[in-house]
Structure 1
């Protein structure tokens, strides 16, 4: 009897251990799945049922690219999981066209749809001898307690990706034209006015891209076209894949001369930006700031996408309001974009120490707002009222003013720049600092070489001097720093002389990312006294 009880206890322990071991094995599978999912761009958490009722199990982790590859290895396609709509576009939902009021989209219906569809496919794949996924009873291999976040690179249709499409010989040309834009866009109104297909009016743009783009890529892949696009998530959202695509495009562009061709959209080379004027006021004298001659061609080449400026779409009017174009903090505004350019190492040495509000100074306004009645450099030769001008007349006037802008940075003659400046006013524990003044200035000039932004806004040769000699008149003989920073401590917002020197020099070295001399290397600028 005692032996019988002992056997029963041992049996119970063995069963319990088996259960725990089974749970641990399943949990290990779950953790393995989590490890594989971490950092992937294709992770999708399937939690559709959560919108209908409380989940009995955590959301299921689905690795999309792994399934796409598995289907391809078996000679299958996206249509194995996704149905197509009446227009032939893939639905983004699994095994149905859309979520709606139908039996299979109830909570229980969806549960059966996913379980039967996924598990049966895994079983069939295993029977064919292919590596397969979890089967019945292996719940935790999909339903993980800890949700996984996908690591996706944003996939925008920038100018480079646009070029890849409209330059493609695989995409058929528009009827009677050399372009192929109508493969993705439909004409609306004017000839040069385009919009994405009708679906974009009712569906989220993200869904439109995934449905229509993937469908098109899959169609060309099935036809074994010479060039096609990705159907896997990593192809558009993977950091490694997108970087490789950029390198390939750069090689192709280099073979073409290194310049990305402009979109064939009949966009203007130049435009005249002016405040709104009522039609009935066309004969009145214009008021307010003078118009701006905007170099559209130059800015188009310097931005990754038209949407950088046209945030509401290329067909939406770019409102010429002060707020829209002068917001220092908005990189989509004119001033905000220029402030971002000032953060580049070759510019930040001077601009980082200057408040952003300086971009809106009175002197800076005339650099852009210079199309007016006065004669002279950068000015229109006759009274100008943009409201009374045609589109072509505005473009011609803007182009005329742009053509007069300087192409290169105005510079001070090298012989007029002091070679060294000795800073000895604070010599105490350290020797006086012998600053290589000319070398510093020439290095700054070199960093601005080829920058039309610098050439336009640095209107005088002495403008560069304001980087260090701020708030002083533009002159080759600016006042000494001590004339403003003479007191030892900060007064009226001005730091003392020692703080001013260190703040200016160290900030410049840091912002320009200078490794030698380092910003904190004291003896590189002034040797320590030995006595």
Structure 2
């Protein structure tokens, strides 16, 4: 009986210790349901005094969402830790550390502010028998040499769908005297990115600008018990799972609207003519750059990009507002010609089209062509068309009314091919036998027609292909890359000798065949035939 009582007492002690341990782990956020093995979006490594020199202790691991949850349970708000400026925007730094005229503080001053603020709060919370954080002396609970949880934040972006959720929101009141609520975020009409650009120019960290404005607004809506508030937790914008859930929900809403969002209500044109702005003193001419202007379907492109910033990286004005005919040397702004044709830029026309060509259905052909080297002048003329009147005379558009430019753009775009030009099936050889250098293997009987028709089917819905593959012969240039555009191109051996030309670097016939076919299969993500499966294309000779 005595032994039984001792066992019971010992068990009770173990249970009590386990309870204390669990309580302490929960207080530190180690058992929080949002914890992630690789890291958490709300983890902030506090190393503010690192700018004064080497840290005595490792940076403090601070789990933001754990703290906001605990504060909310106590009826406290963000202002328990953060101050607000004169405009009501919340500062991101801890109270008293920065932003309050305390820039002259030293390392010991800042250290004291953190310790006094954090530990005092922990002690007060513990006295109320609520979940609390580390107390005095538990330094390693915060200052961890090897943090138990790291930082893993996904990029948060304002795409078109998320933007629509804001400007269509009934929770955000309309601007005074207007039907739109753009002024809630964008203070200057016509320069909607003004505060982002201003932050970049002033050197103010952009993430602080966004957090200060966005979180403050979301929190104010939450305080008003609004139906929709926007995230106030780090994971809401920076958690990979949360972003995936939001994207899935957005996709459902977009599908319910027919797959196309309502257009942003800022009176942007549907169609326009892209052309340089006249330099001061220049003569009015229809092509001041020496190249015909480009008719641009703004509405179509707007529907097929993630946000306006895809193209308008500084402001939502016309490209020619910044990119002039000659560029602006003192500001480092490239010319309009360069802005539209730089292959390595996702914001240029050529660069964006090159990204589209990296898709598997296009890459098989376009990986062998450089985007900055058009196949012919006809490629340039696909976009650059000299507008003409009914009598065939060139129209002078520089300085012309906006309505006239839109009408001309509409006419040019309507005349572009709307469907992919394809050759007649009978004009495509059904099989092509490749056996000029057959040695250990039989000649390869390539199902030529099947391959060509499959490639054409892959791109039948591509507007880009419909516009630029204006002739049936265009698809032939995929393999016959240096031949004239014709349905009866010369054989590969017309250019490629048996051996590699060491002077020009032109590959030999065998290397040309294998390089062409294998590269195409790789770029198009084709699993069969494998590059190492020789007999899939040509059987091995038996003698």
TM-score by length of 2: 0.84
Q: Is the 8 A contact 1:434 1:525 kept in 2?
A: yes
Cα deviations across residues 339-379 of structure 1 (Å, max 9, x unaligned)? 1111110000001122343248533211111134498xxxx
Aligned residue for 2:230?
Answer: 229
How far is 1:435 from its partner? 1.1
Q: Is the 8 A contact 2:350 2:371 kept in 1?
A: no
CA distance in 1, matches of 2:38, 2:219: 27
Asked whether 1:322 is paired with 2:346, we answer: no
CA distance in 2, matches of 1:441, 1:75: 68
Q: Is the 8 A contact 1:282 1:387 kept in 2?
A: no
| Greater alpha carbon shift after TM alignment, 452-461 vs 487-496 | 487-496
Aligned residue for 1:117?
Answer: 117
Which residue of 384, 393, 397 maps to 1:369?
384
CA distance in 1, matches of 2:179, 2:150: 43
Aligned residue for 2:535?
Answer: 523
How far is 1:217 from its partner? 0.8
Aligned residue for 1:339?
Answer: 354
Aligned residue for 1:507?
Answer: 519
Aligned residue for 1:312?
Answer: 314
| Greater alpha carbon shift after TM alignment, 498-507 vs 141-150 | 141-150
CA distance in 1, matches of 2:185, 2:217: 10
User: What is the Cα-based RMSD across aligned positions, in Å?
Assistant: 2.9
Aligned residue for 2:441?
Answer: 430
| Greater alpha carbon shift after TM alignment, 409-418 vs 239-248 | 409-418
How far is 1:163 from its partner? 0.8
Which residue of 468, 471, 474 maps to 1:457?
468
Asked whether 1:495 is paired with 2:496, we answer: no
Which residue of 470, 475, 486 maps to 2:486?
475
CA distance in 1, matches of 2:61, 2:448: 61
State the secondary structure of the residue aligned to 2:171.
coil
Aligned residue for 2:134?
Answer: 134
CA distance in 1, matches of 2:518, 2:271: 41
Aligned residue for 1:43?
Answer: 43
Cα deviations across residues 115-138 of structure 1 (Å, max 9, x unaligned)? 111112222333334433221111
CA distance in 1, matches of 2:382, 2:86: 56
Structure 2 CA distance for partners of 1:198 and 1:328, relative to 1, 3 Å: closer
Asked whether 1:409 is paired with 2:420, we answer: yes
Cα deviations across residues 369-402 of structure 1 (Å, max 9, x unaligned)? 1134498xxxx94322332312232222212211
Q: How does 1:56-71 map to 2 (within 5 A)?
A: 56-71=56-71
How far is 1:198 from its partner? 9.6
How far is 1:511 from its partner? 0.4
Q: Is the 8 A contact 2:431 2:447 kept in 1?
A: yes
Structure 2 CA distance for partners of 1:345 and 1:72, relative to 1, 3 Å: same
Structure 2 CA distance for partners of 1:283 and 1:252, relative to 1, 3 Å: closer
Q: Is the 8 A contact 2:443 2:538 kept in 1?
A: yes
Aligned residue for 1:12?
Answer: none
How far is 1:505 from its partner? 0.4
Which residue of 295, 298, 314 maps to 2:300?
298
State the secondary structure of the residue aligned to 2:117.
helix
TM-score by length of 1: 0.86
Q: Is the 8 A contact 2:360 2:523 kept in 1?
A: yes
Cα deviations across residues 144-171 of structure 1 (Å, max 9, x unaligned)? 3358863222212221211111121221
How far is 1:448 from its partner? 1.0
Aligned residue for 2:370?
Answer: 355
Q: Is the 8 A contact 1:465 1:474 kept in 2?
A: yes
State the secondary structure of the residue aligned to 1:121.
helix
Q: How does 1:275-286 map to 2 (within 5 A)?
A: 275-278=276-279, 280-283=281-284, 286=287
Q: Is the 8 A contact 2:350 2:372 kept in 1?
A: no
Structure 2 CA distance for partners of 1:381 and 1:310, relative to 1, 3 Å: farther
CA distance in 2, matches of 1:478, 1:158: 46
Cα deviations across residues 509-529 of structure 1 (Å, max 9, x unaligned)? 000001122233222111222
CA distance in 1, matches of 2:469, 2:496: 26
Aligned residue for 1:10?
Answer: none
Structure 2 CA distance for partners of 1:292 and 1:183, relative to 1, 3 Å: same
CA distance in 1, matches of 2:178, 2:30: 55
- Alignment coverage as a number of residue pairs: 497
How far is 1:249 from its partner? 0.3
CA distance in 2, matches of 1:44, 1:212: 19
**Structure 2 unaligned runs (5+)?**
1-23, 324-334
CA distance in 1, matches of 2:300, 2:98: 45
Aligned residue for 1:167?
Answer: 168
Aligned residue for 1:5?
Answer: none
CA distance in 2, matches of 1:254, 1:211: 33
Which residue of 280, 291, 300 maps to 1:289?
291
| Greater alpha carbon shift after TM alignment, 302-311 vs 516-525 | 516-525
Aligned residue for 1:267?
Answer: 268
How far is 1:140 from its partner? 1.8
State the secondary structure of the residue aligned to 1:271.
strand
